[in-house]
Amino acid sequence: MYFERLFELKANGTNVRTEILAGGTTYLTMAYIVFVNPAILAAAGMDFGAVFVATCLAAAAGSLIMGLYANYPVALAPGMGLNAYFAFSVVPAFGGDWRLALGGVFLSGVLFFLLSISPLRERMVNAIPRSLKYGIGAGIGLFLALIGLKNAGIVVADPVTLVTLGDMAAPGALLAAGGFMVLVAMQVRRVPGAIMLTVLAVTAIAVALGLQPLKGVASLPPSLAPTFLQMDVAGAMQVGFVTIVFVFLLVDLLDTTGTLVSVGQRAGMLDADGKLPRLRKAMLADSSATMIGAALGTSTTTSYIESAAGVDAGGRTGLVAVTVAVLFVASLFLAPLAEAVPPYATAPALVFVACLMARSLADIEWDEISETVPAVVTAIAIPLTFSIADGIGLGLVTYAAVKLLAGRIRDINPAVAVLAAAFAVKLALQ
């Protein structure tokens, strides 16, 4: 049988039916990205329809490569957190030039690809202190939460206190808050596709109340032309963009590594040494997806932790990812529905994902103050500076300074020392 030869189903203790059902489960848990990602990148001035198509195609291409080349039940799509960094930090910092930001994403994909075929990959991942990795994950989550609350009108600007509570009686705020509660309840009850169902339910209520227009549910896909091959790679090579590319690379590398190991562990794929077989192929698939996504016109495409839902449903091979790819292609025809989704309908998804990402704070060594403080500084600085790059920079500088002044210079990896010094200079001169 073709599928047996391609995916080694029997050797992995599974069958075609189980894999396809698992793929459908994974898709339902992450399909919200086709509504959320275009909305976020449209805020940066990009064409909504083109980003919608780019999101679907990037997810399909990345998942297909992961399934066919690496034979892993891991699906890919434009990553949450990095899309917010792209839209709300990078693009505004460079005068609204989203083409430049796409160029940075593409370059980070190229560097990721080169790292994946070299031994430097593991060294780079291991060089970042574990505590800072946890702080970065939690910080990105809090960043997403702030954006979600802002989109819902629950958190608004204030000239005295910087931020304050918005009008909770406003329809958008009420629908977002109610949607979030229902979303959490559905997750507790293990309802498949709870995030996507919440986004659609809030949108449906908004349309029914006349708060949001609906031009239709399905149609032919919009044009990809406004974003296709629009990336400014040459511009992204300028000195001032080095930090941006590094952040795209670092976050994608850490996110991908953590996701692959986590999903692999749940699927029982780790070897006797706790290592993941075919990790190089999986990394190459992920980095290739980032480059393809940038060329299509979307922010960093990465492996999704939601793939664990498919693994829990029995998925064990790349057929799961291939199934997800097919479903994302089918999603191309839902553009009118995606355009009808208001910002407050995606707010519950952003805040819920933030809650999940904040779990990494529990893994910090709370009894070791020299590890705790830099991690917490990183987690706090990312949302409050509205920049993943600045948050990571402040965390690295804090880590190096605390270790040095505490007489624990041996804890400072040479790579971290260099990065901390570079960020210190950047932060001082900006």
Query: What is the predicted pLDDT for the residue at 205?
Result: 94
Among 134, 102, 379, smallest CA distance to 255 is for: 134
pLDDT score of 274 more than 60: no
Tokens of 310: 């498919």
Instruction: Compute the average pLDDT of residues 106-131.
Output: 79
Phi and psi based region of residue 213 (left: phi greater than 0; alpha: psi -120 to 50; beta: remaining): beta
CA–CA separation, 38 and 73 (whole Å): 25
Q: Which residues pair with 158 in a beta bridge?
A: 162
pLDDT of residue 56: 93
Q: What confidence category does residue 173 fall into, taking pLDDT thresholds of 50, 70 and 90?
A: very high
| Statement: residue 126 has pLDDT above 70 | no
pLDDT of 322 reads 92
Task: Please give the Cα distance from 71 to 123 (Å, whole number).
Answer: 25
- What pLDDT score does 41 carry? 94
| pTM attached to this predicted model | 0.77
Structure tokens at 278: 């075919």
In this model, does residue 10 exceed pLDDT 70? yes
Strands 76-78 and 155-158: unpaired
Choice among 245-254, 305-314, 338-347 with the minimum mean pLDDT: 305-314
Residue 265 has a pLDDT of 65
User: If you average pLDDT over every residue of the chain, what do you get?
Assistant: 84
Do residues 393 and 399 lie in contact, with contact meaning Cβ atoms separated by under 8 Å? no
Q: How far apart are CA 257 and CA 249, in angstroms?
A: 12
* Predicted local distance difference test score (pLDDT) of residue 112: 86
Give the C-alpha separation, 3 to 401, whole Å: 55
pLDDT of residue 255: 73
Tell me the pLDDT tens digit for each residue of 350-373.
Answer: 788 788 878 878 888 888 899 999
CA–CA distance, 200 with 202 (Å, rounded to integer): 6
- Is 191's pLDDT higher than 70? yes
